[in-house]
Structure 1
Amino acid sequence: MKFQGQILKMTSFDAQPIQYYLTLSGDLIHMNELFGKEITIKHTGFQCVNCNENKPIYRMGFCKSCFFESPYASDTIIRPELSTAHLGIAERDLQVEKQIQLQPHTVYLSYTGDVKVGVTRNTQIPTRWIDQGATFALPIARTENRYEAGVIEVALKEHLPDKTNWRKMLQDDFEGEIDLADFQQKIKEYFPADFQKFYSEGEELWKFDYPFEKPEKINSFTLDKKPEFSAKLTGIKGQYLSFEGGNFMNVRGHEGYVIEMEIS
């Protein structure tokens, strides 16, 4: 089988184990069915996720000009505490920013080899946690907009990391249970005084089962350095495809790349 097209991040469905689908310009490929099969990937070009032009990808699937101009790549995507839509102030496009920022958000703890704090729109639960390869996740605050969640995250990340260490996430084979509720109790005192009303206790602990086994070694590669690659697919965790020999490809890190993919 041969496929060709623009890479977007994999779609996932929370199941036992999680089911993954890769989108290549309209083709939806069920990746779980390809475990044990030889996959050849060849990088042939680019297609910016915003302007669709064949321009080198700068970051997050955007070409350089779109990254600095599109409201979908604004600073508030990475730093929600910078949100200003609730004040009626535009950063790049107020209408788009209102759609993204003026909706319920969740502040959460997750375990990805370490316990971290993060923010997500409620509509992205549990997708956000699966994308980062979280083994467990626990909501700890429910806010009305992105700014409120961002302020809480800023206060808490002085005591917990807010980034996923991808290597630890892939190396982790934890089989017990991390007590995220205990972590929540310990950091409750660090909530900003004016934001205590958003604190949420007794939330459901989410657990995720990935079609993945920890390899003996980890070698992450990009299509920039290895434009053609062939190996058997062995598993998936987060947005990482795991190939034989401990080789990993971050699908989300290749959004906007155009490839040819052959399955044999």
Structure 2
Amino acid sequence: MLYKGVLKKMQTEVGNPIQYYLIFKDDFLNVNQILNKKITINFIKHQCLNCGLDKPIYRQGFCKSCFFDIPSAGDWIMRPELSTAHLGKEDRDLEYEKKVQLQPHIVYLANSGKVKVGVTRKTQIPTRWIDQGAHEAIEIIEVPNRYLAGITEVALKDYVGDKTNWRSMLKNDVTDENLIAWRNKLKQYIPEEAIPYFLDNNTETHLEFPVNKYPTKVKSLNLDKTPNYTGNLVGIKGQYLIFDDETVFNIRSNEGYYISLTIN
């Protein structure tokens, strides 16, 4: 069976385990259904997710010129504390920025190896946690805009990490943590203007990933260096495909790559 199209991050559906889908222009694939099957990935060309041209991908699935131009790649995406739509100040496109920034946001704790703090739109819960490969997570605050979430994350980063250790996550080198205790311990460091939005009566969310075998060492597949790869798929976690030879392939970091995928 052959699928062709530009890679975009896998769509997910909560379940036990989580269901993963690759969405192409004219077709889709439930990736869970090809676990334990041999698949071949062939890199064909680049296709910027914005302009659609065959230009090298710079970041987030965009070519370099689009990345520095389009509103959906502004600095406030990765650094929410730089959001200014609540002040009526434009970065690249105020209408777009108001739409995204002026909506409920969650500051959360997630455990994908070690406890980390993060920010996401409320509509992206629990998708954000799934994409990070977190096996447990909890909300800390729910605020009305991205800026308040951003300054809260910055304040908490002095006391808890803000990066996912993707190697530990993929090797399942994880331990359970009491995230309620973590949340309560961190409350004292939340900025004064965000404290009214503190959540103190919610519980942890636990997530189960479809992995039959975790790698002991991790080898990352780079399509620019290895444009043709064949392997037996044994797991899916975060936005990674895991193969039995301990190769892992990050779908998210290969957005904008047009591939063919053959199920042997």
Q: TM-score range by the shorter chain?
A: over 0.9
Is 2:103 the partner of 1:100?
no
Identity of matched residues, %: 49
TM-score normalised over the length of structure 2: 0.97
Q: How far off its partner does 1:194 sit?
A: 2.5
Partner of 1:128: 128
- In 2, the alpha carbon distance for the partners of 1:243 and 1:215 equals 8
Q: Report the Cα distance in structure 2 between the residues aligned to 1:104 and 1:193, rounded to whole angstroms.
A: 18
Give the aligned CA root-mean-square deviation in angstroms: 1.1
Contact 1:104–1:122 at 8 Å: present in 2 too? yes
Deviation at 1:25, TM superposition (A): 2.6
Structure 1 position 24, deviation (Å): 2.5
1:52-78 Cα offsets, whole Å, 9 max, x none, are: 111110000000001001111110110
2:208 maps to: 209
**Partners in 1 of 2:24 and 2:227 — Cα distance?**
17
Q: Gaps (5+ residues) in structure 2?
A: none
The CA distance in 2 between the partners of 1:219 and 1:16, in whole Å, is 27
**Distance between the aligned counterparts of 2:87 and 2:14, measured in 1?**
36
> What number of residue pairs does the alignment pair up?
263
Corresponding residue for residue 193 of structure 2: 194
- Whether the aligned pair in 2 keeps the contact of 1:217 and 1:245 (CA below 8 Å) is no
Note the alpha carbon deviations across 1:22-48, whole angstroms, 9 max, x for none: 122332101001011110011010111
Q: 1:144: which partner in 2?
A: 144
Task: State the SS of the aligned residue for 1:210.
Answer: coil
Which amino acid in 2 is paired with 1:246?
E
Q: Is the 8 A contact 1:8 1:22 kept in 2?
A: yes
Normalising by structure 1, we get a TM-score of: 0.97
**Partner Cα distance (1:8, 1:64) in 2:** 17
| Counterpart contact for 1:173–1:214, Cα < 8 Å | no
* Residue in structure 1 matched with residue 26 of structure 2 by the alignment: 26
Gaps of 5+ in 1: none
Which residue identity lines up with residue 43 of structure 1 in the other structure?
A: F
Measure how far apart 1:173 and its partner are.
Answer: 4.7
Distance (Å, rounded) in 1 between the aligned partners of 2:181 and 2:39: 43
Query: What is the SS of the residue equivalent to 2:119?
Result: strand
Displacement after TM superposition at 1:232 (Å):
0.8
Q: Which amino acid aligns with 2:140?
A: I
Aligned equivalents of 1:172 and 1:260: distance in 2? Answer: 29
**Equivalent residue, structure 1, for 2:43:** 43
Name the structure 1 match of 2:237.
237
What secondary structure, in the 3-state scheme, does the structure 1 residue paired with 2:194 have?
helix
